[in-house]
Structure 1
Amino acid sequence: MLSLVVLISGGGSNLRALLEAAEDAEFPARVVAIGADRDADGLDLGEEYGIPTFTVPFSSFPDREAWGDELLAQVQQWEPDLVILSGLMRLLPARVVQALSPRLLNTHPAYLPEFPGAHGVRDALAAGVQESGASIIVVDEGVDAGPILAQERVAVLPGDTEHSLHERIKTVERRLLVQAVLDIANGNLELKEQSRA
């Protein structure tokens, strides 16, 4: 049984998908803690599902490194098999990534390597593409540049707004994330250590 710590900044829709999947006794993973970098709405899911939560507010620290050190300490006390960034809208310091990778996953609302960064959906619309997508990756020290574990195309429809496209992408992201966790737990997807330059 894999233990997961999920880190969020918002409503936690991907987190909810994992929690719902884990309600099935056969699902081989459980969320053991939920963390956030702010007072995020998704923390309410901890109360709903009886899962401990923690908050490491970025604004409480003098810099990103100090914030990252405290976040890492909070995560590591749960000894998770996987750490999942589920809409955490903050770049992790390199030493946090090094400590957790390759067991550090992220979802991204684009078909990587297309449209990396914080505005993947907006950037896809601005580029006028006919397809975007969703990706699940191993986090490395680049921006959305780590090994791709799963991805799927999502059509851009006439009249799409950033919101409407993102909602359709999120549906795919949730399914891909749950499947990736299942595949890792069942040994069908292997997380490899990345070589350090």
Structure 2
Amino acid sequence: MNKVVFLVSGGGGSLKFVYYALQTLKMNVQVIGVIADRDCAALEFASKKNIYSKKIKYNLNHTVELQQELKKLAPDVVVTNIHKIIDIETLSQFPDRFINLHYSLLPAFGGVIGMETIVQAKMQNVGFIGGTCHMVNEEVDAGKILYQSCFSVNWEKDESVIDTVFKSSCLALLGGIFSVSGIVTNQNEQLVINEKNVLFSPPLPFSAGFISDEFWQQIAN
């Protein structure tokens, strides 16, 4: 079994997506731990689902607890949704296992946090937007790109840009998890999300037929 650990600080939307998607797809991948640097909704979700969860102190000057937890859990993939930069020593102890989800088409808007990327994209009137799942290295948002989602945007008419970016980015993150885990299954090159044709590069390594309004609703709850 390929083991996934999430490092979290916030609401846990992408954590919920990955958890429910893996349950539905019944692949040999499982979320086995959630580690937070503060009390947050993501930590509460893990507790409700009986996933191992732990709140720790973590910053660039206090790295021991995180390293201890990761050594104990021995994950194959670590998703860095935590609102902190991961220190080089921790990255080196678990090489090629840390991945991150960024709400832009990197390298555009690298270093910008959360959905602020969309605010900046709108200010610059970009024509295409999406999400990027990438490896984590010592330089912020500069690791090897694993998956990207992309769709066209009309800022005057489109009312669901944030939602479409989030949903397509979750799929890119799941593709990244599968990529690091060495799993390849059925492939879908394009999906329709909020009436937008969304492209993925490379093609998604799983069938996304399980995606429905009901599926997204359980993540919103």
TM bucket by the smaller chain?
Answer: 0.7 to 0.9
Structure 1 unmatched ranges of 5 or more:
59-63, 189-197
Q: Is the 8 A contact 1:5 1:33 kept in 2?
A: yes
CA distance in 1, matches of 2:123, 2:75: 38
Structure 2 unmatched ranges of 5 or more:
185-221
Q: Secondary structure at the match of 1:66?
A: coil
* 2:141 counterpart residue number: 144
Judging changes above 3 Å, is the alpha-carbon distance between structure 1 residues 89 and 155 closer, same or farther for their aligned structure 2 residues? farther
CA deviation after TM superposition for structure 1 residue 186, in Å: 4.1
Q: Is the 8 A contact 2:125 2:155 kept in 1?
A: no
Q: Spell out the pairing of 1:168-187 with structure 2 (5 A cutoff).
A: 168-187=164-183
Q: Which has the higher contact order (CA 8 A, sep 6+)?
A: 1
With the length of structure 1 as denominator, give the TM-score of the two structures: 0.82
Judging changes above 3 Å, is the alpha-carbon distance between structure 1 residues 160 and 146 closer, same or farther for their aligned structure 2 residues? farther
With the length of structure 2 as denominator, give the TM-score of the two structures: 0.74
How big is each residue's C-alpha offset from its partner over 1:149-179, in whole Å with a ceiling of 9 and x where there is no partner? 0002133332489x95332211011111222
Q: Spell out the pairing of 1:130-169 with structure 2 (5 A cutoff).
A: 130-159=127-156, 164-169=160-165
Judging changes above 3 Å, is the alpha-carbon distance between structure 1 residues 72 and 17 closer, same or farther for their aligned structure 2 residues? same
Judging changes above 3 Å, is the alpha-carbon distance between structure 1 residues 25 and 132 closer, same or farther for their aligned structure 2 residues? closer
Q: Spell out the pairing of 1:20-39 with structure 2 (5 A cutoff).
A: 20-24=20-24, 26-39=26-39
Q: Spell out the pairing of 1:76-87 with structure 2 (5 A cutoff).
A: 76-86=71-81
**Alignment RMSD, CA only?**
2.3
CA distance in 2, matches of 1:166, 1:57: 31
Q: Spell out the pairing of 1:1-197 with structure 2 (5 A cutoff).
A: 1-24=1-24, 26-58=26-58, 64-86=59-81, 88-117=82-111, 118=113, 119-159=116-156, 164-188=160-184
How big is each residue's C-alpha offset from its partner over 1:134-161, in whole Å with a ceiling of 9 and x where there is no partner? 0000001111000000002133332489
Larger deviation: 70-79 or 26-35?
70-79
CA deviation after TM superposition for structure 1 residue 98, in Å: 1.9
Judging changes above 3 Å, is the alpha-carbon distance between structure 1 residues 95 and 122 closer, same or farther for their aligned structure 2 residues? farther
Larger deviation: 176-185 or 12-21?
176-185
More strand as a share of residues: 2
* 1:191 counterpart residue number: none
More helix as a share of residues: 1
How big is each residue's C-alpha offset from its partner over 1:90-143, in whole Å with a ceiling of 9 and x where there is no partner? 111121222223111100000011111124223222222122210000001111
Judging changes above 3 Å, is the alpha-carbon distance between structure 1 residues 153 and 79 closer, same or farther for their aligned structure 2 residues? same
Q: Is the 8 A contact 2:57 2:65 kept in 1?
A: no
Q: Secondary structure at the match of 1:77?
A: helix
How big is each residue's C-alpha offset from its partner over 1:38-57, in whole Å with a ceiling of 9 and x where there is no partner? 11111121122110101124
Q: Is the 8 A contact 1:37 1:57 kept in 2?
A: yes
Q: Is the 8 A contact 1:28 1:182 kept in 2?
A: no
